[in-house]
Structure 1
C-alpha cells in the first residue's frame, strides 16, 4: 500500500504528461485494437503467419486515427482532469479515424504486400468500437485513480454549508480542483425538510449533527456557499463550536479579494472580518456611474485606507481624470504603481504634498479644475492627536478649510468630507477636530446656498465608525500580537466598537456624496456593536494559537468605552438608502464659525497644548475630555459656571 501511495504521488505530482506522450499512447491503443480484432477473427496461427504485414497495416490505420486526434486535439487535455467533453472529443476523433480507415482499406488492398492480410468493413467497425472504449476507459481509469488516491491519502474531510445551487457549484469546484486537497462527505442545512436526504451522492446533515461529524467523520473543513454567507455570519454559536474544535472555515473569494500570492485561488480561509455579523450592502451603482463618468475627481488622503479604496472604486466609473493627493511618499508611490498596473486607461496625477499648503492647493485646483472632491485626508489616531493637538488643528481643521475654500473658488460641484463617529460628543482632540470640520463645511454650504458666499459647491459630510483592517486599527494589531505569541492587549473588558468593511464604507460614501443635496451630515448604519474582548478571544481561537493571553491595559487618553453615532440632542431622518440616515444637527452661522476657526489657528501657532484645546472646547462645548490631562480644563469650566 505504501508503494502504491508513493507511485501515485510521484505521477500525480507532475503537472501533466507531455502532449506527444498522450498522442503516441492513443495511437498505440488504435494499433492494438486492430491487432486484437484480427487475432480474434482469424485465429492466432494466421495472425502469426502474416504478422509483419498485419503490423504494417495496423500502423497505417493508426495514422488515419491520428488525423482525427489532431483534428479534435484529444491529446491537449490532462488525463486526470478528463471530463465528458474530453470523452466526446475522443468519440468524434475515433469516428473520423474509422471513416478514413474504411476508405483507405480499399486502397491498401491494391498493394501485393497486403494481399494476404484482409481487413474488411466489419473488422474496421469492430476495431473502432474497441478502440474508443479503450480510449475512454484509460481516461476514466486515470481520473478515478487520481480521485481515489487524493481522497484516500491527502484530502481533508470537508462539508459544504448551504443546500442550493451555490452549494452544488462549490461541490463541483472541490471535486474538480484537487489542489484544494479536500474530500467532501456531505452538505449541511438548517432546514429539517432536507435532513437525511442525498444530494450529488452526498448526505445532507443538520446543525444538530455538527459535533457528531467532528468526532465521527473527523471533519476538518467547512465550506460556506456564497448564498449562505449571511446565515453563517449570524450564527455565532456554530462558529464558536467549529473554531473551538479546530475546523477550518472557507468562503468563496470575491473579485475584490484577489490575492497576488495565490492568483488562481477561488476559496479563502476566513479571517475574523468574515465572521463579524453584518448585513449585505448594495448601492445604486448606475446613479453613481452616471454622475462620476467622465469627470475630474480629486481625492485627498489617497494613500490611506479609506482614500485608496475610494480611488479603486472610482476607477470602475471611468472618470476623465483622477487627482490624487497625499503627504506620505511611499504609500503614494504604491498608489501610483497600482494605477499604472491595474488602471492604465485612466489618467491619474499622483501628487505628494500636504493639504495645509494653501498656495500649492490653489495651484492644483486652478490647474485641474476638479468636478468632485472626496476629502479623506486626516490625522486619525486618538492617542497621537491627544499628544499633538496643534498638529490636529493644522492638518484636520486648517487643511479642511483650505480645501473647502478652494472648492468654492474654483467651482467644484460637490465636496464630500469623511468624518467619524468620534465627532459625536467628542472626548478627545481628534474627534473634536473633526466636529469643527463638520461645522465649517456645513455652515459654508448654507452660506453658498443663501448667497452670502458666492459659489455653487455643495458640501456633504459622511460620518461612520471603525473600518475593518484600516491602517493602525485593532484587528491588524491583534494579528501581530497573536503571531508574536501574545499577550493581546485590550484597553478595557467592556469596551465596544462598531465595525464596517472598508469597501462597504466607501460604497456608501460614494452614494451619499453623489445623491446628497448639500449641507447633510450622513450617518451610516454600522450594525451591531462588537465587544473588543470577545473579538480578541475569537481571533486567538481562529488562529489556532495556544497559550495566548489577553491583557487589559486601561483606557487610553481620550478614549471612551463606546462610540456614539449621534449626540443626545440629535435625531435622524431616513434618506435614499436604508443604511444611510441624515443627522438633524445644530447648524451654525458661517461667519461665526470662520472667525472661531481663524482664532483657533492663531492660538495653535503658539504651540501651547492647553490653550489650543481650551479654544477647541469653546467652539465645541460638548467636548468633554476623558482620561486625559485636558480634563483639568473641564473642571475649571465647571467651577467657573458654579
Structure 2
C-alpha cells in the first residue's frame, strides 16, 4: 500500500508484486506513487497466462490503435508471451514514436514494426496484412470521446464502423485466425453516437463470424482508469492546479477497471474465444464519480471545502448517469474464470446489416448529422439519445 501522511510530510510508495520485478530484481523506477486504481473496491483480476501464451508464442500479431492507452498496454503485455513479431498500427505518429522508444529502451524489445496508417484506408490495411500475415489482430483503434463524437457523427461512423469493416473484411480475405475487437459498455442501450457506432461494429463483426475461417471475438468493458482523456488524469491536473474539480452530476456512476486488467481481458478473450462471443468482466460494483473525486482529494492531503472545491457542470451531450455491461435480455454463460462471462447476444443476419451499412455509407458524404444519426437509430432501435440535440429524432 501507499498513502500520504500530511502531518509528518511522509509519502509512502508502492512496491510492485515480486513476480513483476524486472529479471527478478527490484528497480528504483518500479517504486511508484500511490495509484488511484488501487482504490477499486474489489481485488485486481488476474487471468490464466498459460492459455494466452499458447495463442501468442512465435506468432505474428497486429495491434491497431497501438499508440493509445489500451493498444500500447496490449503491446507491452504481449512481450511476456514471446511473439515472433508485433505490428503496431496507428495514425497518431507522436505516440507511436514514443512507444518505439519505450519498447527499445525500457523493454529491450526489437521484434516489432511501426506502421503509421489509417484503418479506414483499405489499400494500406490490405498491404500491411498481406505483407506481415498476422495470425491474430487486436483491434483497439477507435474514436472514443463521447462529447466530441456527438458533434462529429460522420467521423465516428467512418472510423468505428467502416474502419472496423475494412479491417475485418481484409482479415477474412487474408485468412487471419482471430480478430479480437475492443468494445465498450457504452454499446449497451446506447445514448450517444460513440456507443451506437461501437454497437454496430459488434453486430457486423459477429455477423462475419460465419463467413470464413477468421474467428471474431468481442471484449466489452467499462471505463479504464488512467486512460488518455479519462477522469483520473483530469482530476489529478485539477487538484495540482488548486481546483476546482469539475464533475457533471453528483449521481453519476461508472464501472472501472485498470488498464492492465482491461488488456488482460482482451488477451484472455483471444485465447478463450471460439468465434462469435462477447466477453465481459464482472467488475464489481459501479463507482460513484463524486466519491472517487473525494478520495483523490483526501489522498492528496487536502480537505474538501477548505483547500479545494467540487463544482457540478451538468451532463454533457450523450452522457448518462450510469452504464450497463449487457442488455437485460442477454444471457450470461460462465467460463473457467469466475470473473469472466460470455454474453449471448442476438445475432443479426449478415445480409441485413450489410444493407443497412450501405444506406449509412451513402449518406456520409452529405455530412448531415441528423440524417446520419437517424439511420443509426434505425439500425439500433434501442439507441435513445440523452441530453443531446438528437433527442428530437426519438419523438
Instruction: Say yes or no: TM over 0.5.
Output: yes
Contact 2:190/2:196 (<8 A) preserved: yes
TM-score (structure 2 length as normaliser): 0.93
Shift of 1:335: 1.6
Contact 1:464/1:565 (<8 A) preserved: yes
The residue aligned with 2:222 is: 465
For 1:61-210, what aligned pairs fall within 5 Å after superposition? none
The answer to whether 1:253 aligns with 2:10 is no
Contact 1:385/1:392 (<8 A) preserved: yes
The residue aligned with 1:492 is: 249
Contact 1:487/1:551 (<8 A) preserved: yes
What secondary structure, in the 3-state scheme, does the structure 2 residue paired with 1:252 have?
Answer: coil
Long gaps (5+) in structure 2: none
Contact 2:67/2:96 (<8 A) preserved: yes
What secondary structure, in the 3-state scheme, does the structure 1 residue paired with 2:337 have?
Answer: coil
Contact 1:326/1:332 (<8 A) preserved: yes
Alpha-carbon distance change, 433 to 245 in structure 1, aligned in 2, over 3 angstroms: farther
Alpha-carbon distance change, 414 to 561 in structure 1, aligned in 2, over 3 angstroms: same
Alpha-carbon distance change, 270 to 395 in structure 1, aligned in 2, over 3 angstroms: same
Long gaps (5+) in structure 1: 1-222, 225-238, 449-454, 636-642
Q: 2:384 aligns with which of 618, 621, 624?
A: 624
Deviations 1:345-391 (A, max 9, x none): 54211011100001111111111111000000000000000010000
For 1:197-596, what aligned pairs fall within 5 Å after superposition? 248-254=11-17, 263-264=27-28, 267-445=31-209, 447-448=210-211, 455-545=212-302, 547-596=307-356
What secondary structure, in the 3-state scheme, does the structure 2 residue paired with 1:503 have?
Answer: helix
How many residues align structurally?
Answer: 388
Cα distance in structure 2, aligned partners of 1:245 and 1:384: 44
Contact 1:419/1:434 (<8 A) preserved: yes
The residue aligned with 1:611 is: 371
Identify, as 1 or 2, the structure richer in helix: 1
Cα distance in structure 2, aligned partners of 1:494 and 1:414: 40
Cα distance in structure 1, aligned partners of 2:39 and 2:333: 30
TM-score (structure 1 length as normaliser): 0.58
What secondary structure, in the 3-state scheme, does the structure 2 residue paired with 1:561 have?
Answer: coil
Shift of 1:341: 2.3
Output the aligned Cα RMSD: 2.1
Cα distance in structure 2, aligned partners of 1:306 and 1:529: 21
Deviations 1:376-432 (A, max 9, x none): 000000000001000000011000000000110000000000000000000000000
Contact 1:279/1:527 (<8 A) preserved: no
Contact 1:300/1:307 (<8 A) preserved: yes
Shift of 1:272: 1.9
Cα distance in structure 2, aligned partners of 1:562 and 1:378: 22
Cα distance in structure 2, aligned partners of 1:267 and 1:306: 22
What secondary structure, in the 3-state scheme, does the structure 2 residue paired with 1:316 have?
Answer: helix
Shift of 1:522: 0.7
Contact 1:246/1:544 (<8 A) preserved: no
Answer 1 or 2: higher relative contact order, Cα 8 Å, separation at least 6: 2
Deviations 1:454-512 (A, max 9, x none): x2100000000011100000000000011111110000001011111101111121011
What secondary structure, in the 3-state scheme, does the structure 2 residue paired with 1:593 have?
Answer: helix
Shift of 1:275: 2.1
Deviations 1:304-340 (A, max 9, x none): 0000000001111111111110000100111222222
Shift of 1:545: 3.4
Cα distance in structure 1, aligned partners of 2:247 and 2:283: 21
Shift of 1:528: 1.4
Shift of 1:266: 6.2
What secondary structure, in the 3-state scheme, does the structure 1 residue paired with 2:389 have?
Answer: coil
The residue aligned with 1:5 is: none
Contact 2:21/2:27 (<8 A) preserved: no
